Homo-oligomer: A and B are copies of this chain.
């Protein structure tokens, strides 16, 4: 009864976490293990394809692919760090390997708690706190940060603790408003204090010793602690679905408006979508935000090492918020849970980490026949899958948004609290995301190309000099490309073997990119080599199992990436092949005063749109938008309506004004 049948794309279950522990304990008898990660290992793609194709075609199912589990753990006797992949069906170890000393695994919650508590107990830290001469009601707390990298030899597992003052009378006091000027660095394994850093407060890296604190009020963000009253003129806005939502969920299998997909969840990427089909046609095999990096642009030590990889160093799944009804989502909501392990190998439930609901997004299409005044109006109903991640001070809100016209949007909102430093505001950061698109446009072999719009030449073909045309470039080898606003460059994914019956051209989807400033880090800096994925907006690689993460498997204190920048160098054929398209996009965030103490969201989005995939507008059959269905409310007229004869004189021409030119 331990391992019930699970779909290949289902997230890990608590039983499977416990199974993994039993398998590993049997393999390391008498050795105490500290578990860092126990999660689903992606199924071998070639093994899973026959299974999902049989599902799609409603044929008898073949055996599912081997259910593999991914584990990272330390032997506490030797300190060695291991990766092992397990076969949950056979209850065996597929392979286990000791990783090189310089490889640091991701940070886990138990470890963070440990470091946080260690820091607060350490005599050197207590001595600094003593110097602050804090009044009653003010305490010190710390956020342990991934240490980052500034040399190629460091192999200790390090944490830099950023220290803050916090008033203790409310659970939402804003400690980020009161940063301290000392910052201890600890060895995460030996628990030794490596160094006490003092933080610069001026334009250069000069620092000073800890002085008695001159009391200053924290700038608060939570309503209880605001000086001003909250607004009272906001009226309720309620979404009702009296007949229920238009989606159905059978476990993690979701159906909505001709879309069908499987919802995945893992500790590293959080929300993942698998096997996306529309009207039973394959569209995408897998979509996920594969990595992100946030290099801070502050040149002063120790800030130069602040470069978080929020997927690889920690994990969006790990950091996903427990969402609550009526707060994080509006309307008719379904929630999904996840599971992680703790350091002892126990399963920990992550409740409500993903929410699903519908939303109305205004009009999808409209046309008014000006001769008759008759209009066809279709609204844009959407399905939203949302996850919110808190990475210490900062929040990212990820949403996949499906619509009825065949579009899939990835929307990212950045909010939360800026990482502050003593005395002056934080220098800017770039937030660089890697959206990994594993396409399946009517099949699993696809080709990526880009199309530019360019003026026609000044010749006989263009006598009036107004013509423009398109130029296509096929990315037939694993390679990179730039976006181009000036050429209106559009990236497309096509299936060379299937022609659209109307256009006679290969069926395709296009990627509507978010052209963004790339990494501002100098190419000779370690931070550049660690995050090469963020130096080009477009990467195309040939699919290989285990190539999921743009900056490689182990990013914490990495010295260089082993991700897309490495895989493109194989120069694999990527024409009519199992290809993966990686899009790097992001935000350059130069903080505004309006971003304090908590930041109004900055939104960035990319979209996947059919382009020759269907034979016409796929939303044509969405019902007409009517008052019977939508039940809107007319605002009552408060002032006297205009009833002068002249106003009425126009009404006989009610249709005429719709005549247009």
Q: Which one of A193-201, A280-288, A638-646 is at the interface? A: A638-646
Task: Report yes or no: B527 in contact with A659, Cβ–Cβ below 8 A.
Answer: no
A347, CB-defined interface residue at 8 Å: yes
Identical chains in the assembly: 2
A497, CB-defined interface residue at 8 Å: no
Quick one: given A109-B657, A517-B453, A594-B614, are A236 and B379 in contact (CB under 8 Å)?
no
Task: Report yes or no: B369 in contact with A171, Cβ–Cβ below 8 A.
Answer: yes
Quick one: given A322-B658, A485-B516, A661-B313, are A406 and B594 in contact (CB under 8 Å)?
yes
Chain B residues contacting A594 (CB-CB under 8 Å) are 405-406, 609-614, 616-618
* Nearest Cβ on chain B to A340's Cβ, whole angstroms: 7
Task: Report yes or no: A238 in contact with B239, Cβ–Cβ below 8 A.
Answer: yes
* Nearest Cβ on chain B to A332's Cβ, whole angstroms: 4
Q: Give chain A interface residues in 579-600, CB to chain B under 8 Å.
A: 588, 590, 592-600
The interface bits of chain A over 620-661 (1 if a CB of B lies within 8 angstroms of the residue's CB, else 0) are: 111111111111111100110010101111110110111111
A226, CB-defined interface residue at 8 Å: yes
The interface bits of chain A over 514-550 (1 if a CB of B lies within 8 angstroms of the residue's CB, else 0) are: 0111101110110110000000000000000000000
Task: Report yes or no: B171 in contact with A226, Cβ–Cβ below 8 A.
Answer: no
A623 to B231, CA, bound (A): 6
Nearest neighbor of A225 in chain B, beta-carbon distance: B376
Q: Which one of A46-54, A77-85, A121-129, A465-473 is at the interface? A: A465-473
* Nearest Cβ on chain B to A239's Cβ, whole angstroms: 6
A87, CB-defined interface residue at 8 Å: no
Task: Report yes or no: A616 in contact with B364, Cβ–Cβ below 8 A.
Answer: no
A206, CB-defined interface residue at 8 Å: no
A380, CB-defined interface residue at 8 Å: yes
The interface bits of chain A over 286-330 (1 if a CB of B lies within 8 angstroms of the residue's CB, else 0) are: 000000000111110100110100000110001101101111111
Chain B residues contacting A367 (CB-CB under 8 Å) are 221, 390, 393, 395, 415-417, 598
Task: Report yes or no: B644 in contact with A619, Cβ–Cβ below 8 A.
Answer: no
Quick one: given A365-B599, A397-B363, A627-B325, are A233 and B219 in contact (CB under 8 Å)?
no
Task: Report yes or no: B236 in contact with A500, Cβ–Cβ below 8 A.
Answer: no
Per a CB cutoff under 8 Å, which of B113, B363, B454, B614 touches A601? B363
A453 to B590, CA, bound (A): 8
6 A-B pairs whose Cβ atoms sit less than 8 Å apart in the complex: A299-B464, A321-B368, A350-B657, A363-B601, A367-B395, A594-B609
